[in-house]
C-alpha cells in the first residue's frame, strides 16, 4: 500500500492509498477514513461501494460520513468501482453504465473483461486481507453502498454468511436480472447464460437462501431510476416472503443524488454501529 494523501478530519484521518491488485491485474486506488479511536485500538469497518461513474473519492467528499464515523469509532473503507489503467478495456462507445466506472461488482467470465473485471473477489477477498493486515482494524465488518454499489453490498452480504454483521443500501439495483442496467452488464460480463446472472441478484439470492444479516434500505420516491432500474418493490416482496430482518424505507421527494445519501448517512451509520460494537 502506497499512501497518496492524508487529511485530518473530525480528529481522524482521511487517507488515499494505491496498490497493485493481483485480483484485478492493475493498480487500484481506494480511500479510508480512520476514526480517532484507531490511534489507540483496533476498530470495526464499514465497506462502502459506490455507484455508476464514481471513484473512491465521491463518497468521501460528498456524503459527510466522517463526523458520525468519528463519533462511533467506525473506519470507512471506500474502494473504486472498477479496475483502472491503460490495459483495462472500456465500453467501445464510452457508455457510463458499462466498462470503466461500472464494474457491477461481479467476476467477469467473458472476454475481454475476464482478465481485469473481478470486482466481487476484490471486495470480498483481496481488499479486506490487505487493509486488515496494514491498518488498525479488528476484522468486524459491515457493508453498504449506493445504486450499483447498493446492489453489490446486498449481493456480497447475502452470499457470504457471517462475513458482514449487517448491510445497508441507498437506492440499490434490487433485481438486476429484470432491469436494463443489469441486462447490459450481466450479458457483457457473464454471457448469455441467465442462470449465472442470478448469483449477482439480491432479490433472487434472498428467495433462494431465505436468510440475510440485518438489512436497511433507503429509497427516494423522486428517484428517476426508481421504476425501470431499481425495482425496490421486488426486494420488498422477497423480504415479506422470507421473513428476514430487513427494513425498506421510502422517502418522499428525494432523488438518486448524493444529497439523498448525505441526508440519511447518519441513520445508516448508527444502524451499522448497533451490530459492529
Q: Is 60 one of the annotated active-site residues of the chain?
A: no
Q: Is 256 one of the annotated active-site residues of the chain?
A: yes
Active-site entry in 146, 175, 256, 268: 256
Short-list 39, 277, 6, CA closest to 136 = 39
Burial 143-173 (b: 16+ CB within 10 A, else e): bbbbbbbbbbbbbbbbeeeeebbbbbbbbbb
State the Cα–Cα distance between residues 73 and 75, nearest whole angstrom: 7
Asked if omega into 112 is within 30° of 0 (cis), the reply is: yes
Helix (H) or strand (E) holding 145: strand 137-146
State the Cα–Cα distance between residues 145 and 59, nearest whole angstrom: 9
CB atoms within 10 A of CB 179: 21
Short-list 271, 218, 211, 267, CA closest to 239 = 211
Q: Is 147 one of the annotated active-site residues of the chain?
A: yes
- Alpha carbon 45 to chain centroid distance? 13
Starting at the edge strand that comes first in sequence, how are the strands of the sheet with 26-34 ordered? Answer: 2-9, 12-21, 26-34, 75-79, 43-49, 137-146, 167-170, 215-220, 246-251
Active-site entry in 201, 223, 234, 272: 223
Helix (H) or strand (E) holding 14: strand 12-21
Active-site entry in 50, 147, 168, 218: 147
Q: Take residue 242 and report the three cell numbers written for it.
A: 422470507
Cite the active site residues.
147, 223, 256
Amino acid at each position: 500500500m502506497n499512501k497518496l494523501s492524508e487529511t485530518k478530519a473530525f480528529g481522524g484521518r482521511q487517507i488515499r492509498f494505491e496498490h497493485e491488485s493481483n485480483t484485478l491485474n492493475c493498480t487500484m486506488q481506494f480511500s479510508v477514513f480512520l476514526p480517532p479511536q484507531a490511534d489507540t485500538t483496533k476498530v470495526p469497518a464499514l465497506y462502502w461501494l459506490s455507484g455508476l461513474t464514481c471513484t473512491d473519492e465521491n463518497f468521501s467528499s460528498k456524503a459527510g460520513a466522517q463526523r458520525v464515523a468519528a463519533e462511533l469509532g467506525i473506519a470507512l473503507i471506500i474502494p473504486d468501482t472498477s479496475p483502472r489503467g491503460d490495459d483495462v478495456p472500456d465500453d467501445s462507445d464510452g457508455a457510463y453504465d458499462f466498462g470503466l466506472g461500472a464494474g457491477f461488482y461481479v467476476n467477469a467470465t467473458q472476454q475481454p473483461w475476464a482478465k481485469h473485471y473481478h470486482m466481487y473477489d476484490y471486495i470480498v477477498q483481496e481488499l479486506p486481507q490487505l487493509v486488515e493486515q496494514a491498518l488498525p482494524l479488528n476484522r468486524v465488518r459491515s457493508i453498504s453502498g449506493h445504486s450499483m454499489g447498493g446492489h453489490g453490498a446486498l449481493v456480497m452480504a447475502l452470499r457470504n454468511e457471517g462475513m458482514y454483521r449487517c448491510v445497508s443500501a441507498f437506492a440499490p439495483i434490487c433485481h438486476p436480472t429484470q432491469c436494463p442496467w443489469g441486462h447490459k452488464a450481466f450479458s457483457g460480463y457473464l454471457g448469455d447464460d441467465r442462470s449465472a446472472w442470478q448469483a449477482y441478484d439480491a432479490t433472487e439470492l434472498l428467495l433462494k437462501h431465505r436468510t440475510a444479516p440485518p438489512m436497511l434500505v433507503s429509497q427516494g420516491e423522486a428517484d428517476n431510476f426508481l421504476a425501470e432500474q431499481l425495482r425496490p418493490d421486488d426486494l420488498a416482496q422477497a423480504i415479506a416472503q422470507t421473513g428476514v430482518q430487513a427494513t425498506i424505507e421510502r422517502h418522499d421527494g428525494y432523488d438518486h443524488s448524493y444529497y439523498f445519501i448525505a441526508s440519511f448517512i447518519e441513520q445508516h451509520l448508527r444502524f451499522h454501529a448497533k451490530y459492529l460494537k
